[in-house]
Copies of this chain bind each other. A is one copy, B any other.
Amino acid sequence: MSKKIVVIGGGAAGASAASRAKKLDPSAEVILIEATDMITHGPCAIPYYVEGIVKDRKMLVTYTPEDFERDRGIRVLTNTVAKNIDVDKKVVVLERDGKELVMEWDKLVIATGATPAKPRVNGVDLKNVYTIRHPAQADELSDAIRKANNIVIVGGSYLGLEMAEAALSLGKKTILIEKEGQLLPRSLDRDVADIVAKEVVTRGLELHLSEPLKEIIGKEFVEAVATSKNIYKTDLVILATGVKPNIELATKSGIKIGITGAVEVNEYMETNIEGVYAAGDVAEKRHIITGKKVWIPLAPSANKEGQVAGANAALGRSLRFPGIVGTAITKFFDMYIARTGLGEEEAKEQGFKIESKLIKVRTKAHYYPKGTYVYIKMVVDASTGRILGAQIVGWEESVAEYINSVAIAIEKEMTIEDLFFADIGYHPAVAPVWHPLIVAARTLSHGRF
């Protein structure tokens, strides 16, 4: 009898898992359960759809359910909600068209993703207060922003900055409030965040740091936002205050939640229940530097975790997910922001004695006319010179690619000396002969190289 593999959640991780499982075991019956009417939806595209860079709403998904059914032989149940899992009986209870449906499984992949974490203040449910997660809401949000005049974005997160770009480029008066004293507090060190802050203000964003949200004010529609310091009139609020893993289904089914609050998994993406895997934003990840569990929900690892879960659901333990180092990239107009590994404070908290330095260097040979400057902050272990992290801010797309070289260097435990001597390419139109990453490594060498 063929194996039945059920995947709950049609986002990046779930769709990857289902595809992979069916590909590796074509005899298996693979069913993908999705609560909305879209699969393989990309939340990362929403700001650019709202901004008008992405023109067609259809582009917000990579595949339709029909693609999956026809081309991949995967049964897709959209508009279907998983209500409960019985791990002993190996069934999942589904709700579809108001009816309950009990589905058996041999292997189960939980890929229920994450949802926006709304701040616990009054008024978060007023009209014209938006969170952003699913492309299904993109049209409504896009229309509402176009009609609004004064937009307040709560949260200096990646999404907050990306939505600020969208609002500003639509010509809206835009305010961003952030409770911490810096933008991107979970991603950047203060000194690097200050560079970003300077640029966003130059671009017309009204930025208020160190102002926790206290209340969203209004009757039916939002009228103002109150922070610890001020009241800002607004007719549209975007809450970009982070996300939380959708663990309800896992929790009530006896699937173990880890110390990060997301589903605990091992390197095979196995949960504590045999035959049950978790992948993507609902699952914890292992940080390669510290070996500790973290919850950094991003699309690239979600896709790969889905692959691993799907492969192992199909074939047994055949593939391992080694973990992450926290690489992330965002942009704000023509400013690119990238980071990987541990920030300065993060590294200290993990017990490292660190050294770090923020440098500003040219991106091209001194004689080549089109260069700009790039800021690079590198964090290293003071005793060994091992690279622990890097943060990069620049005004050319290629600086975002720098971060991948550092991410790989970190994963392979390179020291600044290794990076200094790495055979990095040179062409005057692409980089100086001393590549900015090499300069960043050298700056921390105490004159040794």
A interface residues with partner B (beta carbon < 8 Å): 12, 23-24, 42, 44-45, 48-49, 53-56, 59-60, 62, 288, 298-301, 303-304, 307, 311, 318-319, 321-331, 336, 338, 340, 365-369, 396-398, 400-405, 407-409, 411-412, 414, 418-431, 433-435, 437, 447-449
State A449–B437 Cα separation when bound (angstroms). 31
Whether the pair A430, B340 counts as a contact (CB closer than 8 A) is no
Nearest-Cβ distance from residue A361 to partner chain B, whole angstroms? 14
Whether the pair B304, A421 counts as a contact (CB closer than 8 A) is yes
For A409, list chain B residues within 8 Å (CB).
408, 412
Whether the pair A425, B396 counts as a contact (CB closer than 8 A) is no
For A330, list chain B residues within 8 Å (CB).
427
Cβ-closest 7 pairs across A and B? A401-B401, A59-B367, A412-B412, A329-B425, A329-B427, A398-B398, A327-B425
Identify A45's interface contact among B311, B318, B367, CB under 8 A.
Answer: B367
Whether the pair B365, A45 counts as a contact (CB closer than 8 A) is yes
State A368–B54 Cα separation when bound (angstroms). 6
Whether the pair A425, B403 counts as a contact (CB closer than 8 A) is yes
For A449, list chain B residues within 8 Å (CB).
307, 311, 319
For A397, list chain B residues within 8 Å (CB).
396-398, 429-430
Query: Can you list 29 A-B pairs, Cβ within 8 angstroms, ordered by A?
Result: A12-B433, A45-B365, A45-B428, A48-B429, A49-B367, A54-B367, A54-B368, A54-B369, A300-B424, A300-B425, A300-B433, A300-B434, A311-B449, A319-B449, A323-B423, A331-B430, A336-B430, A340-B425, A396-B397, A397-B397, A398-B398, A401-B404, A401-B405, A404-B422, A405-B408, A408-B408, A408-B409, A411-B418, A412-B414
For A303, list chain B residues within 8 Å (CB).
433-434
Max chain B Cβ within 10 angstroms of own Cβ: one of A397, A405, A418, A425: A425
Whether the pair B411, A423 counts as a contact (CB closer than 8 A) is yes
State A48–B311 Cα separation when bound (angstroms). 51
Whether the pair B422, A411 counts as a contact (CB closer than 8 A) is yes
Whether the pair B298, A426 counts as a contact (CB closer than 8 A) is yes
Q: Closest residue of chain B to A319, judged by CB? A: B449
Whether the pair A368, B430 counts as a contact (CB closer than 8 A) is no
Q: Closest residue of chain B to A20, judged by CB? A: B449
For A304, list chain B residues within 8 Å (CB).
420-421
Whether the pair A428, B42 counts as a contact (CB closer than 8 A) is yes
State A396–B430 Cα separation when bound (angstroms). 10
For A418, list chain B residues within 8 Å (CB).
322, 411
Whether the pair B408, A425 counts as a contact (CB closer than 8 A) is no
Whether the pair B328, A425 counts as a contact (CB closer than 8 A) is yes
Whether the pair B48, A428 counts as a contact (CB closer than 8 A) is yes
Since A319-B448, A340-B423, A403-B425 are in contact, a sample of 19 more A-B pairs with Cβ atoms closer than 8 Å, ordered by chain A residue number, is A42-B367, A42-B428, A44-B365, A53-B369, A55-B369, A60-B367, A300-B423, A300-B433, A327-B423, A328-B426, A338-B425, A397-B430, A398-B400, A400-B425, A401-B402, A405-B408, A408-B412, A408-B414, A411-B418
Whether the pair A423, B325 counts as a contact (CB closer than 8 A) is yes
For A429, list chain B residues within 8 Å (CB).
48, 331, 397
Nearest-Cβ distance from residue A166 to partner chain B, whole angstroms? 13
For A421, list chain B residues within 8 Å (CB).
304, 321-322
